[in-house]
Amino acid sequence: MKVVVVESAPAAARVVADLVERFVTTAPRPALGLATGATMAPVFAELVRRHREHGLSFARARAYLLDEYLGLDREDPCAYRNVVHRLLARHVDLGAGAVHGPDPHAADLDAECDRYERELLAAPIGLQLLGIGSNGHIAFNEPGSPLDSTTRVVALSGQTRAGNARFFPAGQAVPARAITQGIATIRAADQLVMVACGKHKAQAVARAVEGPITSEVPASAIQLHPNVTVVLRASAAVGLSESLRADTQ
């Protein structure tokens, strides 16, 4: 595992954008796994900037959502498909239909999860972006999620719903359920890039990177993967041992 520690969120976004840029420009048919959330917003902004100013092209790429809420209208701005469209896809040259995700309106959600799982494994995902929840979740795999889990419907924890309330208009409840890629699904990607900024992530990051591998800390499963880069703003790295914090840029 490579750990890169930087001083600011924009610097973290640049490191992540470098990895994404290398991937989309060199992979024969780039399948990019996208997380959403506050951590990814500056990453998407940096990718858009590179597209506009340097011609970074996504024309050959396909993008795949990590997770999606259940119970929102199709046009709800908080639906992750719409977030990805608003912050990234509509500003770059991702082709029509290049953003893939589970259909949260499918009549049979279990069948839809199985369909998306098969689509992901066939893609296959070359580079998967990940954030981490302060409770150690990756995607919407909450503590207790089996390390061999696949794409499925999950209930969101109170902590996750409270944490995500900031993305919803006042008075709109955060959905109680979502579809998420499973931990095994995520691990099937060729390369994982996990990003975290802020002191409130430091404990989860330390447990994910250096703690025991356990379903109680779903992000600890990244330790099982042979090709992981963890990009941290210094504030999120304070719980790591000195040797790991050494690769500071």
Positions in the binding site for ligand F6R (CB under 6 A): 35-39, 66-67, 80, 131-133, 137-139
If you write DSSP's letter for every residue of 44-89 in order, what string do you get? HHHHHHHHHHH----TT-EEEESEEESS--TT-TTSHHHHHHHHTG
Please report how close the Cβ of residue 114 comes to ligand F6R at its closest, in angstroms. 20
The residue with its CB nearest to ligand F6R is 131
Q: Which is nearer to ligand F6R, 11 or 138 (CB)?
A: 138
Decide if 24 contacts 30 (C-beta within 8 A): yes
SS3 138: strand
Token pair 């790429």 is at which residue? 61
Bridge partners of 94, per DSSP, are none
Please report how close the Cβ of residue 242 comes to ligand F6R at its closest, in angstroms. 25
Q: Which is nearer to ligand F6R, 157 or 223 (CB)?
A: 157
Please report how close the Cβ of residue 105 comes to ligand F6R at its closest, in angstroms. 18
Please report how close the Cβ of residue 181 comes to ligand F6R at its closest, in angstroms. 8
- Residues 107-139 as b/e (b if ≥16 CB within 10 A, e otherwise) read eebeebbeebbebbeebebbbbbbbbbbbbbbb
Q: H-type helices in 101-229, by residue range?
A: 109-122, 158-164, 183-187, 202-210
Bridge partners of 154, per DSSP, are 178
Please report how close the Cβ of residue 209 comes to ligand F6R at its closest, in angstroms. 16
Please report how close the Cβ of residue 24 comes to ligand F6R at its closest, in angstroms. 19
d(CA 210, CA 192): 16
